[in-house]
Amino acid sequence: MTHSQPIRVMLVDDHTMVRRGLGTFLKVFDDLELVGEAADGEAAIRLCAQLNADILPDVILMDLIMPDMDGVTAVGIIRQRFPTVQVIALTSFKEKGLVQSALKAGAIGYLLKDVSAEKLAQAIREAHAGRGIFSPEVAQVLVQAATQPPPPGHDLTERERAVLTLMVEGLNNTEIAEKLVVSPSTIKSHVSNVLAKLGVAGRTEAVALAVRYHLVD
């Protein structure tokens, strides 16, 4: 694959040796060009702001766990302020929450740092073309997250969660009604909804489930 102009790449990582290694890797490919480095998210944003629109990076390789400003926060700000810049998360961590946070912030790809040079170069090209690319382990995390059933209590309303909290504290319907300043019949309806949504037969099961899955504070 050839480009009339090289793809401009910025490196963001708090480890100097990692940036140095990535910089060396970029020199191997004629269609990739290093245009900037930053040691944390805040510095990356500042550097983008200093560059003219015609020399902004096309793709940023962004570490996620960094001091001062983390990569996820930086991804969100960069994508908002500089929408033409694509960001690939390049990290050692593949926890589901981190993967989802990075993608929600606007990262187009998510790679682990053990990726080969050829695959990283291809990922940069894909990102520049607007296509996402993920390490196999990360893709597996995303598949598992998509196929897992939602956690118990995910659909409880704020009021139902308040009722459940008081149930856990051992209050009966009348006491809950007094606490929330509503009628006992209203609380009875809320309790029925809570039991139905949690898929349990009675209050004891509901309380046990709430404690087990930390559904209430």
CA 80 to chain centre: 16
Q: Which domains does the chain have, with CATH numbers?
A: 7-147 (3.40.50.2300), 158-212 (1.10.10.10)
- 3-state SS assignment for residue 39: coil
pLDDT of residue 173: 96
pLDDT of residue 76: 96
Rounded mean pLDDT of 126-145? 90
Q: What is the mean pLDDT of the chain?
A: 92
- From residue 106, alpha-carbon distances to 77, 81, 83, 160, 188 in Å are 9, 12, 10, 33, 44
Identify which of 162, 170, 169, 103 has the alpha carbon closest to the alpha carbon of residue 138: 103
- 3-state SS assignment for residue 4: coil
In the numeric block, the tokens 């929450």 are attached to: 97
Backbone phi, psi, residue 190, to 5°: -60, -45
Beta carbons of 45 and 74 less than 8 angstroms apart? yes
Beta carbons of 95 and 62 less than 8 angstroms apart? no
pLDDT of residue 42: 95
